[in-house]
Chains A and B, each alone.
Chain A
């Protein structure tokens, strides 16, 4: 029966969003536009150059689309964590602690930013365009990888979100920092990582495992060797990285909540 609770909580939130239809419509449109701006940046860039870090325009668009779809899905579920400071300040977090459910799933289901579907729709459209315009030697395994990539990417982004927002348990207004990490890693992962300087690459590609959202899976799909020298099988490890990231995020969250309740420090 437990598994039916969260869909119910989500359903409840969807119904409450319908209470504010106009604001929903405005948000939806602004999300589609936001996605378009990023697309325009890439198109303008490629009107001046032919390749970025050894990748063609359509290859970069593929990475951008994978990152965009993954981020959109993550935002749908984990984006509510941006409200954590409010939860802590108003005592709503205490209410979550009084229920026989985990605090993290309760927050994740506390709101569904439906307008993010605008972002996801845009990303999927670009993904379809890119997949049909780049040279991919299709195999059944690559089809599976194509489907799994946005899912694994969403899990990785969500994990990043959870870890970054956990800082709010120590610094209540830690939201700026958290957003820098979450939105920053989205911007980062939309481009081939070999174009970045080494320290930034290390921080955003491997510590925050952003490279596994779009870059490595795209290499595997395209059958390209990593300009940075990692072996080809790395491109297939995103689901594993996602599982590790989710586990790590769960542990960090638990530690943070323990700190909040008073046993942490």
Chain B
């Protein structure tokens, strides 16, 4: 679906010094290589200025790469912009493709004409989105009167009316409340599994990734730092997990081999035992713990995805320092 090889994009930035103007070349995307197969759902994350948006703009045909090979849905985005537009859907969290002063339904009608969707297909696709996203009452509301969450549901419907093979979402959940976020995620997961629509999304909200994307790509300074299933990345960069135990009676933490750190809470009612996943299994640990103390409740906690990404950045910085 997406094929990227040694993709590079440079910008010329003016640096003024008195009256003299110099230009400095900044590399926003630095020889990035990856591929996304049809039906995948990929999260593309990185700090501000990492090169995410530039990549997205190249994938969607807005920007032309400085160099490198790029194919999206079988076409070259920089040369076949309009062909590409018919095959992909794009949602930008911070800009709208709807008609501000018109009722939401009118925007959909216009997009139907723009993308030349047959009346039959249009009705089927719109009905589906309206039902799943609860847009029924909103169709007659002018877009400018919609809440952000309502508008985003409209934007996603707008991007799906021409049944794109690939849906690119740039910060789709930015600024939304928890309930709206959850609703969007549920819907996106559904079209990914049921319709097989490929998803590529950038986000700052790592819950989006956890919920939607089996695969994660992390980019910083224009380079891909990591690419793989979220679980593997987690195992690789944060080899430690935590066993949280709640005791019936307050007491000292059990002394169990394999535990690398202990943190206690609530006057000894709750203990966090850190262990390395490669050396100790959770089952072993639990067996030994229950032999020593009377446990009321326990849970195995995976490191937060934020930690995973932060560690990836740190690792890259260290590698750069060694070079």
Docked complex Cα distance between A101 and B111 (Å): 11
Docked complex Cα distance between A255 and B96 (Å): 26
The answer to whether A94 and B114 touch across the interface, beta carbons within 8 angstroms, is no
Docked complex Cα distance between A101 and B85 (Å): 9
Given contacts A97-B62, A98-B90, contact A1 B116 (CB under 8 A): yes
Docked complex Cα distance between A101 and B110 (Å): 13
Q: With a CB–CB cut-off of 8 A, which chain A residues contact B60?
A: 97-98
Residue from A17, A20, A263 whose CB has the most chain B CB atoms within 10 Å: A263
Q: With a CB–CB cut-off of 8 A, which chain B residues contact A12?
A: 99, 102, 106, 110
The answer to whether B113 and A5 touch across the interface, beta carbons within 8 angstroms, is yes
Interface of A is mostly: helix
Q: Is A92 interfacial (CB 8 A cutoff)? A: yes
Q: With a CB–CB cut-off of 8 A, which chain A residues contact B9?
A: 262
Q: Is A83 interfacial (CB 8 A cutoff)? A: no
The answer to whether A94 and B110 touch across the interface, beta carbons within 8 angstroms, is no
Interface of B is mostly: loop
Given contacts A91-B94, A94-B57, A100-B82, contact A261 B101 (CB under 8 A): no
Given contacts A99-B114, A100-B82, contact A15 B102 (CB under 8 A): yes
Choose from B65, B97, B110, B142 the contact partner of A95 (Cβ within 8 Å): B97
Q: Nearest CB to that of B90 among chain A residues?
A: A98
Q: Nearest CB to that of B103 among chain A residues?
A: A15
The answer to whether A262 and B97 touch across the interface, beta carbons within 8 angstroms, is no
Shortest distance in angstroms between A16's beta carbon and chain B's nearest beta carbon? 3
Shortest distance in angstroms between A152's beta carbon and chain B's nearest beta carbon? 30
Q: Is B311 interfacial (CB 8 A cutoff)? A: no
Q: With a CB–CB cut-off of 8 A, which chain A residues contact B61?
A: 97-98
Docked complex Cα distance between A101 and B92 (Å): 19
Docked complex Cα distance between A95 and B82 (Å): 12
The answer to whether A263 and B78 touch across the interface, beta carbons within 8 angstroms, is yes
The answer to whether B114 and A100 touch across the interface, beta carbons within 8 angstroms, is yes
Shortest distance in angstroms between B15's beta carbon and chain A's nearest beta carbon? 17
The answer to whether A19 and B78 touch across the interface, beta carbons within 8 angstroms, is no
Q: Is A8 interfacial (CB 8 A cutoff)? A: yes
The answer to whether B62 and A100 touch across the interface, beta carbons within 8 angstroms, is no
The answer to whether A19 and B63 touch across the interface, beta carbons within 8 angstroms, is no
Docked complex Cα distance between A16 and B143 (Å): 11
Docked complex Cα distance between A100 and B95 (Å): 18
Q: Nearest CB to that of A97 among chain B residues?
A: B62
Q: With a CB–CB cut-off of 8 A, which chain A residues contact B66?
A: 262
Shortest distance in angstroms between A86's beta carbon and chain B's nearest beta carbon? 12
Residue from B9, B66, B82, B142 whose CB has the most chain A CB atoms within 10 Å: B82
Given contacts A8-B113, A261-B78, contact A94 B86 (CB under 8 A): no
Choose from B64, B83, B110 the contact partner of A261 (Cβ within 8 Å): B64
Task: List B residues at the A interface (Cβ < 8 Å).
Answer: 9, 12, 57, 60-66, 78, 81-83, 85-86, 90, 92, 94-97, 99-102, 106, 110, 113-116, 142
Other A-B contacts than A1-B113, A100-B114, A261-B64, 19 sampled, CB-CB below 8 A, are A2-B116, A4-B113, A9-B110, A12-B106, A12-B110, A16-B99, A19-B101, A94-B92, A94-B95, A98-B97, A99-B85, A99-B114, A100-B86, A261-B62, A261-B63, A262-B63, A262-B65, A262-B66, A263-B64
